């Protein structure tokens, strides 16, 4: 069945429908990972977005147990070529079956290189995937220009607290769209991890007397999380050790007076080099974000820049002065290196031990 990807600038790509055949409108982004398509599909940070995979062949190892959440989150999926015959002893099905079961519309057979170049030149755009050959381009563009992502953090967060048992430090993990491997990385180090919904009050977290607090990744524009930012400021004042990743990093910066801004086309992939300014070592990182912290707007008496992106010089982390708090924009729980930045979890463990 034919499918069409229509962008808000009027560009139309024609391909083949994969997954659900319902119409979809979303923000179109691209990911440069060569593997890990299942982790991309199940990363809650992609809520409110449709993902273009720049690697040309997707699905060759099928669907495996390597999921970052219980379901898929992107609004849509865009690929050059979809493997029809996965080869992997761990495979539990095909990616096309997965997309159908998850009700995710997709399109295959388009020139994803041309699409990616267009997004790099013009910036991220809204788009529609449709199987309707009689679409009205003017009506579609009007709808695309009116689309906004909305409150996706509330959509992806857990509804009730739950606990991953351990005999070590107690960690409160704020779920703004947390990938499973964040909790696993803490559990492997012996932590007892309590996962809390995004809108849990700071008072409830502090009352539980955790040894440390983890602020997770998540989707959307950080500036829209007004009430969450107010609670994070209270957590900052509590003197409990805090480690924050991705959206959590941005929210902590906003809570302390810094500003964030939207990147032209974001950082999404498993091959982004970041430099640790304390050691001058460069690590290959996994990233998924469309917004960044403007480090120049942070009061240097509150926090200093700790990591930068080697490609474009954008901020990748902050270290807070006089506090047991550090934050990173990238994903140390992911494995692009494969264990390059896992030491940050060890740093968090040492912080918690030192605070006690």
Q: What are phi and psi of 84, to 5 degrees?
A: -95, -15
Helices and strands (H and E) in the chain: how many: 10, 19
Instruction: State the pLDDT at residue 65.
Output: 87
Calculate mean pLDDT across residues 43-66: 95
Judge contact between 241 and 326, C-beta under 8 A: no
What confidence score (pLDDT) does residue 355 get? 67
For 69-102, the DSSP string reads: SSS---SEEEESEE-SS---TT--S-HHHHHHHT
Nearest-10 crossing angle of helices 226-236, 247-255: 70
Mean pLDDT of the chain: 95
Q: Which of 120, 106, 125 has the alpha carbon at shortest distance from 9? A: 125
Per-residue model confidence (pLDDT) at position 150:
87
Where is the binding site, in residues? 45, 218, 220, 247, 250, 288, 290-291
What is the share, in percent, of the chain residues with pLDDT greater than 90? Answer: 92
Q: Which domains does the chain have, with CATH numbers?
A: 2-149 (3.50.30.20), 153-355 (3.40.50.880)
Confidence band for 342, pLDDT divided at 50, 70 and 90: confident
With a cut of 90, say whether residue 228 has pLDDT above it: yes
For residues 52-68, average pLDDT: 94
Structure tokens at 321: 């002065």
Catalytic residue ranges: 246, 331, 333
For residue 7, which of 156, 155, 95, 110 has the smallest C-alpha distance?
110
* Res. 354: pLDDT tops 80: no
DSSP string, 294-336: EGGGS-TTTEEEEEEETTT--EEEEEETTSSEEEESSBTTS-S
Cα–Cα dist 183/178, whole Å: 8
In residues, how long is the chain?
356
How many alpha carbons fall within 13 Å on the CB side of residue 331?
A: 31
Higher per-residue pLDDT: 84 or 285: 285
| CA–CA gap between residue 149 and residue 51 (Å, rounded) | 14
Which band of pLDDT confidence, cut at 50, 70 and 90, is reported for residue 340? low
Q: Which two tokens stand for residue 132?
A: 């309707």
Please list, in sequence order, all residues whose beta carbon lies within 8 angstroms of the beta carbon of residue 141, skipping any fewer than 6 positions away. Answer: 6, 8, 10
Mention every residue, 6+ apart, whose C-beta is less than 8 A from residue 28.
5, 7, 49, 50, 52, 78, 115, 119, 124, 125, 126, 127
Cis peptide preceding 46, ω within 30 of 0: no
pLDDT score at 50: 98
Q: Which helix (H) or strand (E) holds 265?
A: strand 259-276
Query: What's the CA gap between 304 and 294, in Å, rounded?
Result: 12
pTM comes to 0.96
CA-CA distance, 188 to 164, in Å (whole number)? 11
Is residue 202 within 8 A of residue 238, CB to CB? The reply is yes
Question: How far is it, in rounded angstroms, from Cα 277 to Cα 280?
Answer: 5
Binding residues for L-glutamine: 45, 218, 220, 247, 250, 288, 290-291
């Amino acid at each position: 069945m034919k499918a069409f990807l229509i962008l808000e600038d009027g560009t139309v790509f024609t391909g083949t429908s994969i997954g659900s055949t319902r119409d979809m409108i979303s923000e179109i982004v691209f990911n440069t990972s060569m593997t890990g398509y299942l982790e991309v599909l199940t990363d809650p940070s992609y809520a409110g977005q449709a993902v273009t995979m720049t690697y040309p062949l997707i699905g060759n190892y099928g669907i495996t147990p390597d999921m970052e959440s219980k379901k898929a989150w992107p609004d849509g999926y865009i690929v050059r070529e979809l493997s029809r015959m996965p080869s992997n002893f761990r495979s539990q099905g095909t990616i096309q079956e997965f997309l159908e079961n998850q009700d995710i519309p997709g399109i295959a057979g388009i020139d994803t290189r041309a699409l990616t170049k267009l997004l790099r030149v013009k910036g991220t755009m809204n788009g529609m995937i449709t199987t309707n050959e009689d679409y009205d381009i003017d009506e579609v563009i009007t709808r695309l220009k009116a689309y906004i992502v909305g409150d996706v953090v509330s959509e992806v967060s857990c509804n009730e607290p739950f606990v991953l048992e351990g005999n070590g430090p107690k960690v409160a993990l704020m779920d703004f769209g947390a990938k499973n491997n964040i909790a696993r990385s803490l559990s492997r180090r012996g932590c007892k991890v309590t996962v809390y919904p995004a809108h849990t009050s700071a008072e409830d977290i502090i009352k539980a007397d955790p040894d440390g607090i983890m602020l997770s990744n998540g989707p959307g524009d950080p500036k829209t999380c007004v009430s969450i930012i107010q609670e994070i400021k209270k957590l900052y004042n509590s003197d409990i050790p805090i480690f924050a990743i991705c959206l959590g990093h941005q929210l902590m910066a906003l809570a302390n007076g810094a500003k964030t801004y939207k990147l032209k086309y974001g950082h999404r992939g498993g091959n982004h080099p970041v430099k640790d300014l304390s050691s001058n070592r460069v690590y290959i990182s996994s990233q998924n974000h469309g917004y960044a912290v403007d480090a120049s707007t942070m009061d240097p008496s509150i926090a200093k820049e700790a990591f930068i992106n080697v490609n474009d010089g954008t901020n990748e982390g902050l270290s807070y002065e006089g506090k047991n708090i550090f934050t990173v924009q990238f994903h140390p729980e992911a494995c692009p290196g494969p264990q390059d930045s896992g030491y940050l979890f060890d740093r968090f463990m040492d912080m918690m031990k030192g605070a006690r």
